[in-house]
Homo-oligomer: A and B are copies of this chain.
Amino acid sequence: MKPVLGKISSLLLGTTLITSALAATDGELAKVMKDRGLSEIDVVRAAKTYNPTGVKDKYVVFSSGGQSGQMLVYGVPSMRLLKYIAVFTPEPWQGYGYDKDSLEILRQGNIRGREINWGDTHHPALSETDGKYDGKWLVINDKANPRIAVIDLEDFETKQIVPNPVFKSEHGGAFFTPNSDHILEAAQYAAPFDNEYHPIEDYKETYRGGVTVWKFDSKIGRIIPKDSFTLELPPYMQDLSDSGKGISDGWGFTNSFNTEMYTGGIEVGMPPNEAGMSRNDTDFLHVYNWKKLYELSKDPKNVKIVNDHKIIPIEIAVKNDALFLIPEPKSPHGVDVDPTGQYLVVCGKLDTHASVYDFKKIQKLISNKEYAGKDPFGIPILDMKKSLHGQLELGLGPLHNQYSPVDGEIYTSLYVDSQVVKWNFKELKVLDKENVHYNIGHLAGMEGKSADPQGEYIIALNKLSIDRFQNVGPLHPQNHQLIDISGKTMDLLVDMPLPLGEPHQAVAIRAEKLHPHVRYEMGTNTKTGEQHIGKTLAGQERIERNGNHVTVYATLVRSHINPERITVNKGDKVTIHMTNLERAQDETHGFTVDNFDVHASLEPGETSTIEFNADIEGVFPYYCTEFCSALHLEMMGYLMVKDPNKKYESAQKIKMQTMTPEQLKAEYDKTVAVNAATDSVIQSVVKFLKDNKFGDHKVVADLVTDALDQYGKIPEQKKLSDEAVKAGDMEKAILFENMIWQLMVKTADVGIRAKDTLVRLIATKQSDAAARGEKTFAEGGCNGCHVIGKVSSGPDLTGVLQRHENGEKWVADFILDPEKMYGEPYVKGMIDYFNLKMPNQHMSQEETKDIIEYLKWIDENANLF
């Protein structure tokens, strides 16, 4: 009983209440604050990030998974991790790399024929239409083994991996152009484009950087390598990129470090790279017209071919006025185009300033051919000052930028200062700073680099967490901190530890823009989106042998695998195609054959394949690895591998007790009776559902479809049972009757959930008082004896307010002082009938009133209980 809380919170909600009742200090919230040491502002922050059960998040974040090689997905503002998506690294839960179909995707990422089973993911990008996120595709790069992967946001699965044919290292990808027709991918550590050795002494001559401009077909969501090309760049180590939008659409921007072209080596008596690569005060921003270059790439005269891939040489780009350099502050990190496309903000991590370039000024210099000079490779250099809108000192280690919907407002991460700074890039004025813990790298706004930034939150992607979390060993989680930016000043809301990988960058999208599937068309190969060659429907299960290749066409459905026995010869190649026959949302089955290092995850409707060589003799259980129903443990079978060169003799039978025909008949009758009783429960639920028009509610209709799916399998089993009875095989008949019971249990499981869901949907809305009353009814212990809708240890209270004259007063009196009424004839009769006396539960007047409101609500909905 928590009366005080109700009052205080009502006040917070602005309802009127007598304030003289407010002096009490024993409210539940006050107690929790005291127990947990929370301040008032902590409670506000808690409320800003807490999602009650079933409440969904407003934004979905896609974060790189760093060296895990995966992507991760979480919700904002709850900061709850929703999913890791397997991308470059095998992941058994998803079957990724453990089934044949996904292994084919993973192997697209082989480099020079070598298998690569991990990645260092850095920069995710969401597909765009007119520079705004459209929620269709997600791409991510691998820095260590230069590759790009494409993920389909209809099912959050990786569909394509494309290795870069000329880079040996990569950082400045992936970045979509504003209509997702191209993806920019810049190199990082310069290296020869070919696959040969070139001495480090020839660094300037033979090592090269570049930007690959991948053609992307946004209808099918695939990169088209043959229509793609790479722009050759000097061996300045390219860093991050961005594509222009609005007035800068068609242009790409890539910054760099080590324009010194230093190659150190302590082991040869030289200072290390870190000293020589940061010597100059400025590096170069590369500015290139990718649209013009794309057109140029179509003419073989303009390209040279390396590793079967088109390269546009520097001189061709220069000759066609498609490539320029502008000095930028020392060792920059982010180059971030603003929502209009006019401004580019560049931060140099070894410089305290942010530099705001104006694309209009850049364009003017270009069209006037007004160059400040040329670099050693002949690329025109634009004057830095003439390109700049201006510069502003932000603090130590500025790195990356995100925009908000407020004109000119920008948020920048400060790595060394461990801060986020809010400033105005047009007026060049610092507005606010917020401390983060510690060493922020990237930061993520809500659609904060699209043409339509949303504001509301900034997430700080911090590299260190040191003292923020319970110590879990020398390898710490990282920390994504959520910052509320809706107010005048920033407010750090909460810490989110990252349990796997060093997430590098994240992009956020409004949840309402995503529309993933919940099931597939029956028999889908999810990797291609087409019908799977192994698609198998119920009744089509079979085992085929072709030489020493055994192919199994199997199905999985709650709660059995068909077939349940597979016998092969040692040395056979075994292919098992599996189809999950379920249509119910979230009814995934897993499949493994023990000790063969294979695993598939089969979502409803999916067909997938595992393949292995049966190279060892023995008996190997296989089973469904998901807890898919109460009978999940029984969802298993045996693979038996015989040695064809051995002779096997049957073992002696153990003597088992056998049942008499009478015992069998009795068990059969009992099983049939149990089934009939179970069926009548199911029928009552079905009647309730029909009476209350379940079809009007999609969520309920889906559950009913699922339940009827199970129920629909019963006649076939009944037929088998009846045939067995006719044949006099009672043993078998009992088993088929048991199968019917299993199907009924599964029907009831889902059917009852459908009923409960329907009741919640169609009951009249509870008043606040009735809701409080329901809680008080439960917490006060009333439901120990009174079950709504049926007689339990006490009478059913449905209609109790009508049963007595002046019913509300009668009930209130009885709750408040039951002893006084034990002598009343009606009460006396009840006491005799139930052999129990209604106890005094010491309810207050307020609580009693609430309970009566609850009882009124029950009467309004009496037909539902």
Contact = CB atoms under 8 A, between A and B. Distances in A.
A492 B53 contact: yes
B44 A29 contact: yes
A631 interface: yes
A547 interface: no
Interface in A574-618: 585-586, 588, 590, 592, 594-597, 599, 601, 603-606, 616-618
Contacts of A641: 197
Given A202-B650, A564-B264, A118 B144 contact: no
A464 B586 contact: yes
> What does DSSP make chain A's interface, helix, strand, loop or mixed?
loop
B20 A595 contact: no
Nearest to A19: B19
A23 interface: yes
Interface string A66-78: 1111001111000
Given A6-B40, A271-B735, A274-B742, 13 more contacts: A13-B30, A42-B47, A42-B52, A46-B49, A81-B81, A89-B91, A92-B118, A93-B500, A93-B501, A144-B595, A416-B752, A463-B628, A474-B604
Contacts of A40: 5-6, 8-10, 12-13
B197 A495 contact: no
A276 B377 CA distance: 79
Contacts of A72: 499
A656 B272 contact: no
B634 A144 contact: no
Given A273-B564, A465-B586, A469-B82, A597 B117 contact: yes
Interface in A215-264: 237, 239, 257-258, 261-264
Contacts of A188: 621, 633
Number of copies of this kind of chain in the complex: 2
B47 A473 contact: no
A368 interface: no
Contacts of A699: 467
Contact of A14 (B25, B396, B470): B25
Contacts of A125: none
B376 A657 contact: yes
A45 interface: yes
Given A83-B499, A634-B278, A53 B468 contact: yes
19 contacts: A12-B43, A29-B44, A46-B50, A54-B468, A67-B625, A68-B93, A82-B497, A83-B477, A92-B117, A114-B616, A143-B625, A144-B592, A189-B638, A191-B619, A202-B650, A415-B630, A466-B585, A474-B520, A500-B500
A616 B564 contact: no
A11 to B, nearest CB: 6
Interface residues of A, number: 251
A73 B144 contact: no
B595 A112 contact: yes
Given A13-B34, A92-B68, A349-B630, A473 B46 contact: no
Contacts of A781: 488
A846 interface: no
A473 B156 contact: yes
Given A475-B94, A594-B169, A638 B200 contact: yes
A725 interface: no
Interface in A10-35: 10-14, 19-20, 22-23, 25, 27-30, 32-34
A118 B439 CA distance: 34
A812 interface: no
B33 A275 contact: no
Given A40-B10, A272-B560, A738-B271, A618 B197 contact: yes
Given A13-B34, A157-B473, A601-B475, A441 B92 contact: no
Given A19-B19, A597-B115, A618 B192 contact: yes
A263 to B, nearest CB: 8
A777 B197 CA distance: 62
Interface stretch (A203-211, A358-366, A383-391): A203-211
A220 to B, nearest CB: 18
Given A597-B114, A643-B197, A278 B474 contact: no
B80 A496 contact: yes
Contacts of A37: 55
Nearest to A262: B735
A403 interface: no
A377 B616 CA distance: 30
A677 to B, nearest CB: 13
Contact of A144 (B192, B594, B619, B732): B594
B52 A91 contact: no
Interface stretch (A288-296, A317-325, A510-518, A797-805): A510-518
A426 interface: no
Contact of A116 (B55, B239, B563, B595): B595
Given A51-B495, A53-B492, A272-B560, A734 B43 contact: no
A683 interface: no
Interface string A475-488: 11100010000011
Contacts of A516: 471-474
Given A264-B564, A274-B559, A156 B475 contact: yes
A494 B54 CA distance: 9
Contacts of A67: 92-93, 590, 599, 601, 625
